Chains A and B, each alone.
Chain A
Amino acid sequence: MQAIEEYLVIKQCMDGNAEAYAILVERYKGMVYNIAYRMLGDAEAANDIAQESFISAYVGLKDFKRSAKFSSWLCSIAINKCRDYLRSKKDTVSIDEIAEASAAGTATPEDAACNRQMAQGIQTALNELPEDYCEAIVLKHIEGLDYKEMEDILGVSANVLKVRTHRGREMLKKLLKEGGVIDE
């Protein structure tokens, strides 16, 4: 049902009713923004990249195939933009910057310090993973996608993605232990 509804929204956009696009932005902004944030470790850059992803998708709507899933197509645009950003960015993101951004998502004052420290450690570990492994872990374990959906988004076979996910998990565990986020 959702696919049919999205197709109708896309159809309206292609016929010049740009306002209809807000429905798709509202539906997927959380997903795109958080994937970008996890990959980049920088809330401000994630906001820019997520906005640009939606704009690129809008401009390219005529190339969107009905047989594809809009969210997967949008995700692949966002991930490509993150890759380009990471390649163009020479400086690494400072830990303070990550901590500040991560604190924005914390819930209660009592848990704030603990959550901030943990979120900081997790984000640092994610950003230390090789790009391919980070993408696989974010899509599989943060966005909860299956390997078939990941295959559509990343354009890489499910078997290769499994290997990347498995290696990414082991590396992530090692990094979290080294960072003191989980006990030795």
Chain B
Amino acid sequence: MNKDMDIIHRLLDGEVPEEEKREILDRMDSDPVLKKEFNELEKALCMVKNSDRLAVPESFTSDVMRRLPACRVSPVKRIGDFLFEGRILKWNMAAALATACLLIIAFAGIFQSWEKQHPVSYINASSEPTVTVKINFYAPGAKTVSVAGNFNKWKVNENALRKQDNGVWTIEIPLKPGIYNYMFVVDGKVWMTDPNAESYRDDGFGYRNAVLKVAKL
């Protein structure tokens, strides 16, 4: 009987190959006890499976969101992780040139904003000056390209790049001095790492964020 019960449970688990299944069903036809056992178990499981699911209270999501702790990771820990996390930086000539270009553009932005005393270069009440950073990405086949990073809370639609005739997408973003992680979002769904970034940082999920350092004034 134990062996028979094993077969019944394998049938209920859907683990019996078709050819063997036919053989077992034939055997059940000649063994009323076995057949009754199988039918009763199948009926019990069918009832459990089809019993009504409870509707989730309407306020469930808003209740959870209201109860979420305000700040999960302390800024001190974030800074500590960043400072003490082991990392290896690999340099090549292309990366060095890209860094040099970025710094030139950044300093040009500072000079321009100082010269014109343009009010747009100041954001928030902190009055800390911003630096206009130009980011380029070559993607001739893309329909849209945006940049998401910790400077815009990884929002995919916040900073869209403009397409140039040569297939290069570009954007100028005013940023406060600091170190930023970012990735490009192509056609609203495909995330890509900037091949020309000055350095990279693993995000802990198997992807690499590009790292952008904006120099202090």
Chain A residues in contact with chain B, CB under 8 A? 7-8, 10-12, 14-19, 21-22, 25-26, 29-30, 33-34, 37, 43, 46-47, 50-51, 54-55, 58-59, 61-62, 66, 101-102, 104-107, 115, 118-119, 122-123, 126, 137, 141-142, 144, 147, 162, 165-166, 169-170, 172-173, 176-177, 181-182
Contacts and interface: CB of A to CB of B under 8 A. Distances in A.
B153 A173 contact: no
B49 A119 contact: no
Contacts of A123: 51
| Interface residue range, chain B | 35 or more
Contacts of A101: 54
A182 B47 contact: yes
Given A15-B153, A17-B154, A62-B73, A170 B54 contact: no
Contacts of A37: 54
Given A21-B65, A25-B60, A105 B191 contact: no
A158 to B, nearest CB: 11
Contact of A51 (B55, B64, B150): B64
B52 A22 contact: no
A139 to B, nearest CB: 12
Interface in B34-91: 40-41, 43-45, 47-49, 51-57, 60-61, 63-65, 67-69, 71-73
Q: Most B CB atoms within 10 A — which of A29, A107, A166, A177?
A: A166
A104 B47 contact: no
B119 interface: no
Interface string B161-177: 00000000000000000
B99 to A, nearest CB: 24
Interface of B: 5, 9, 12-13, 40-41, 43-45, 47-49, 51-57, 60-61, 63-65, 67-69, 71-73, 150, 153-155, 191, 203-206
Contacts of A21: 64-65, 68
Contacts of A12: 153-155
A164 B30 CA distance: 29
B54 A122 contact: no
Nearest to A166: B9
A7 B68 CA distance: 19
Contact of B41 (A46, A122, A170): A170
B44 A105 contact: no
Contacts of A51: 60, 63-64, 67
Nearest to A47: B57
15 contacts: A17-B154, A17-B155, A18-B65, A29-B60, A30-B56, A47-B60, A61-B72, A66-B204, A141-B48, A144-B49, A166-B5, A166-B9, A170-B41, A172-B45, A176-B47
B56 to A, nearest CB: 5
B53 A105 contact: yes
Contacts of B154: 8, 11-12, 15, 17
Contacts of A54: 64
Q: Most A CB atoms within 10 A — which of B54, B69, B150?
A: B54
Contacts of B43: 182
Nearest to A60: B72
